[in-house]
Amino acid sequence: MRVAKVHRDRLIAESVFGPVRLNLPNGASTADYAVGDWMLVEPDTRMPVRRLDRKTILQRRTEGGRAPQLIAANVDTLFIVSSCNDDLNPARLERYLALANEAGTTPVIVLTKADQVADVAHWRDQVAGLQRGLQVVTLNAKAPDAALALARWCAAGQTVALVGSSGVGKSSLLNTLAGKSPEEAQLTGSIRVADGKGRHTTTSRSLHRIIGGGLAIDTPGIRTLHASDISAGLDQLFAEIIELAPGCRFRDCTHAHEPGCAVQAAVAAGKLDQARVERWRKLLDENRSNTPVQSGPRGNKTTKAPGRRY
Ligand SMILES: Nc1nc2c(ncn2[C@@H]2O[C@H](COP(=O)(O)OP(=O)(O)OP(=O)(O)O)[C@@H](O)[C@H]2O)c(=O)[nH]1
Ligand SMILES: [Zn+2]
């Protein structure tokens, strides 16, 4: 079965027979499970036997949170949704890219509301350089052909997740991917679930079947994202800067003020955007101050992560 919804007190999974409420053993926490998890379940008791190893895991730390909060598991592609308008924010998109990289999912930037602008290339150009090899799709989230534009990531066996700020068109896009008109979406936005007592309760759904045969996970509630617990994901995001560092005169160069700095030289030569370097530094600092490091023999002490320099 595949976990479709994680509530504080219960887990709903999709089985070949439809949605099923799982029974967790005493003391088990639903917070240990993520939407998208694959579970072996004992059919009679509906108790989990085992959670299968995760291929990818999207997670983030909430303000003051002791453990990262699981967002979604086994996501192949993360659709990072933004719109062709002035709300488009490179720093915010870079946070989502770092999240995707760290999780092991392939990020795709989806720019909605392309039908409302004359010059789509202008908006595409603003995001294309945010990561090497980054895939960018521009579309109208409400038009049926949006599903076609994203079809290569939505085939059977594929799982996508959607993230992005409020109002960028995630719900619209999800409905289009699911092949639903807005009226239908209103009616079918929730599913009926049989609980242990044979009653039916209605719950909003997080795992959606989409045309093409894949599955989509929506992620309501991720309004703001702060970088934390990221390591390789940042190096991948800012590869063009990281690769310059060996050319600096000092091995512990901070690329801020040192003589012989290859990063500053690239900025001066117009090969690297100063704003991009500043965002990189800010994200590194943010990640560092939000990431507790485990220390001590039992790993129960939390201290600030040591400064990491390139
Ligand atoms: N013209 C046009 N309108 C769009 C597009 N995408 C979304 N909209 C409209 O923008 C508004 C917000 O879209 P939603 O799909 O509700 O956005 P959301 O990201 O789900 O927002 P939250 O539910 O707040 O997270 C709605 O009025 C949509 O009809 C698009 O590509 N083109
Ligand atoms: Zn340097």
pLDDT in tens, 171-223: 999 999 998 876 666 444 444 444 444 444 443 458 999 999 999 998 876 66
Task: Report whether residue 142 contacts ligand 1, using a CB cutoff of 6 Å.
Answer: yes
Q: Which residues pair with 293 in a beta bridge?
A: 303
H helix intervals, the chain: 90-103, 120-128, 145-149, 170-177, 182-188, 232-237, 239-242, 262-268, 274-290
CA distances for 287 relative to 61, 154, 265, angstroms: 10, 31, 26
- Atom of ligand 1 at shortest range from CA of 116: 1
Distance, in Å, from the CA atom of 40 to the CA atom of 43, rounded to the nearest integer, reads 9
Q: Are 298 and 239 in contact (CB under 8 A)?
A: no
Task: Report whether residue 204 contacts ligand 1, using a CB cutoff of 6 Å.
Answer: no
What is the number of the ligand closest to the CA of 171? 1
pLDDT of 299 > 60? The answer is: no
Task: Report whether residue 172 contacts ligand 1, using a CB cutoff of 6 Å.
Answer: yes
The phi-psi region of residue 13 (left if phi > 0; otherwise alpha if psi is between -120 and 50; otherwise beta) is beta
pLDDT of 302 > 90? The answer is: no
Tokens of 123: 């908006």
pLDDT in tens, 150-161: 999 999 999 999
Separation of 242 CA from ligand 1 center, angstroms?
Answer: 36
ipTM above 0.90, yes or no: no
pLDDT in tens, 20-56: 999 988 888 888 999 999 999 998 999 999 999 999 9
Q: Are 187 and 12 in contact (CB under 8 A)?
A: no
**pLDDT bucket at 290, cuts 50 / 70 / 90:** confident
